[in-house]
Structure 1
Amino acid sequence: MRALCATDLSAASEATIENETCLRCLGRIGVRTVHLVTVVSGNVHPGMPGVDFEARRRRGLDRYREVIEAAGFGVETHVVRGTPYRRLNDIAETVHADLALVGSRGQSPLLNRVVGSTARNLARTTVVPLLVNRVERAADDPDVLREHLFRHVLFATDFSEHADRAFGAFSYLRHATEEATLVHVRSPKDDGPDGDVGPAERLAERASTLAGWGIETRTEVRRGDPAEEILAVEAEVTPSTVLVGSKGRSRIRRLLLGSVSEDIVARAAGNVFLVPPPRAT
């Protein structure tokens, strides 16, 4: 597997890249090559007085390369120009990445309503599964909040094709997963008949699959606002990562805020693994 790792050479990025436990977790799920990518703003030009951003960023990437190669991965580095989330998606498609990794301190609820961080913009538009690795917010030298990326996975499902696709990620995450919590939230519009199989039984089917892989699993059906209830479960069980599927990107969706997956990315206390629809061929 190939992983794209986005970095702006900040302390938050460094916490994600240089954490040995996080790197071992990536190795367990099958990552063998890491593409380190940093994006220089298109407004910065080499000829500007006192500016040598590209050279500085290459030096920073070379330092990260040494750390990642020492952990046993192959490494390629990329310094590109433009809008971060657009260029990161471009590189992901070019190198055929299997997943992307970005560190995030999170933002205040107000700021999330006004301006999107790179992590949130990627959540709206990502072309590959995206791991948002949460780091300490108010620290000069931050550390990651959940070192074991996939030890305990909280999987949220509405039983849609998007959720089923996210569940499929367990085919490789299971090599680093010991526990899983499966949750379905019934909203008021779901008050009609469940059909032949109710949500508890459908969760039990998925739990049986994980149990066959040796993963200790619990299930929970809740009622209320999906994002609020998923975040409430996260607060109760403290998983390493919340696993959710997204509906993908559209021109309209990129202008709107408030989908369940975007709310989870913006507000979750720990890591979020977001699985989008397959890339168009």
Structure 2
Amino acid sequence: MRAIYATDLSAASEAAIKNETSLESLQQIGVESIHLVTVVPSNVYAGVPAMNLEERRQQALDRYQSAMESAGFDVETHVVRGTPHRRINGIAEAVRADLSIVGSRGKSPLENRVIGSTARNLARTTVVPLLVTRIERETDEPAIRREHLFRRILFATDFSENSERAFDAFSSLRHAADGATLVHVESPKDVEATEGAEPTERLSELAEQLEEWDIDTRIDVRRGDPADEILAAAAETDPTTILLGSRGRSRLRRLLLGSVSESVVTRADENVYLVPPPRTA
């Protein structure tokens, strides 16, 4: 697997990149090469006195590269200018990445500002699966909150086609997973939710597959607001990562991120692994 690792070169980002446990987790799921990317925003000018931003950022990436190469990865670095999420997505497409990774400090003291703008925009527009890692806030020595990235996975499904694609991620994640909770929320607003086989039966079929991979699995069928119930299930089971598709039953192509996915990404304390639909021509 080939991954894009986006960094703003902050202390929090450095802590995530150099965390041996999280790097080992990436290796367990098959990541072999990493493209380290940092973006100089378009509104930051190169002529700022005493600041050669590209050179300084390249020096920082070189340090990160050494740490990752020592951990066993093949690493390339990219210092680019532009709008961060657009450039990161562009590089992901250019190198045919299998995964993009971005850190987020999670909930901010400012109400409704719970995820960095780059992470939010990537969640809405990513062209490949996206891993949002949660990093501690308001500390001099920040660290990843759940460094065993994929040890316990909460998989949320609405049984849509893209939820099936998200479940397929277990084919690689299983190599780092010990346990999983499969959650379906019956929403009063979604009349299609109970069509076909009963949710418990459908979750049980998925659980059987994971059990064959020696992943200790439980199922959980809830009713209520999907985002609220997914987050409540996470609070009860303490997963390291929440796995879900970025779009569910909506047929609106312009809806880049379903309201449920957006709410989970922005409100969760856990890492979030977001799987988008296949990119159309």
TM-score (structure 2 length as normaliser): 0.93
- Note the C-alpha offset of 1:116: 5.9
- Note the C-alpha offset of 1:15: 1.8
- Note the C-alpha offset of 1:112: 3.2
The amino acid that maps onto 1:99 is L
Give matches, 1:69-108, under 5 Å: 69-108=69-108
Kept in 1: contact 2:162–2:277 (CA 8 A):
yes
After the TM superposition, which of the residue ranges 136-145 and 154-163 deviates more from structure 2? 136-145
Distance 1:95 1:190 in 2: 39
Distance 2:194 2:127 in 1: 33
Distance 1:262 1:13 in 2: 22
Distance 2:139 2:211 in 1: 39
Partner of 1:253: 255
- Note the C-alpha offset of 1:140: 2.2
- Note the C-alpha offset of 1:206: 0.2
Partner of 1:152: 152
- Note the C-alpha offset of 1:47: 2.7
Give matches, 1:193-204, under 5 Å: 194-204=194-204
Where does structure 2 lack aligned partners over 5 or more consecutive residues? none
Distance 1:138 1:123 in 2: 24
**1:69-96 deviations in whole A, cap 9, x for unaligned?**
0000000000000111111000100111
- Note the C-alpha offset of 1:50: 2.2
The amino acid that maps onto 2:263 is D
User: Cα gap change, 1:193/1:36 in structure 2, threshold over 3 Å: closer, same or farther?
Assistant: closer
How many pairs align? Answer: 278
The amino acid that maps onto 2:130 is L
Distance 1:22 1:62 in 2: 19
User: Cα gap change, 1:192/1:19 in structure 2, threshold over 3 Å: closer, same or farther?
Assistant: closer
User: Cα gap change, 1:225/1:56 in structure 2, threshold over 3 Å: closer, same or farther?
Assistant: same
Where does structure 1 lack aligned partners over 5 or more consecutive residues? none
**1:258-279 deviations in whole A, cap 9, x for unaligned?**
7111111101011000000123
- Note the C-alpha offset of 1:197: 1.2
The amino acid that maps onto 1:110 is E
The amino acid that maps onto 2:255 is R
> Helix, strand or coil: the match of 1:189?
coil
- Note the C-alpha offset of 1:48: 3.0
Give matches, 1:1-281, under 5 Å: 1-108=1-108, 110-112=111-113, 117-190=117-190, 194-247=194-247, 252-253=254-255, 259-281=259-281
**1:173-218 deviations in whole A, cap 9, x for unaligned?**
1111110000000111346893441000000000001011111000
The amino acid that maps onto 2:279 is R
> Helix, strand or coil: the match of 1:175?
coil
Kept in 1: contact 2:16–2:22 (CA 8 A):
yes
Kindly report structure 1 stretches of 4+ aligned residues shifted beyond 4 Å.
190-193, 248-252
Distance 1:102 1:93 in 2: 16
Distance 1:19 1:101 in 2: 14
Distance 2:83 2:193 in 1: 47
- Note the C-alpha offset of 1:42: 1.1
Distance 1:110 1:91 in 2: 32
> Helix, strand or coil: the match of 2:184?
strand
The amino acid that maps onto 1:47 is G
User: Cα gap change, 1:259/1:69 in structure 2, threshold over 3 Å: closer, same or farther?
Assistant: same
Distance 1:138 1:159 in 2: 38
Distance 1:269 1:31 in 2: 24
Distance 1:193 1:5 in 2: 36
Identity %: 62
> Helix, strand or coil: the match of 1:142?
coil
**1:30-72 deviations in whole A, cap 9, x for unaligned?**
1000100000011223233222111110000000001000000
Kept in 1: contact 2:246–2:258 (CA 8 A):
no
Distance 2:159 2:227 in 1: 15
User: Cα gap change, 1:174/1:48 in structure 2, threshold over 3 Å: closer, same or farther?
Assistant: same
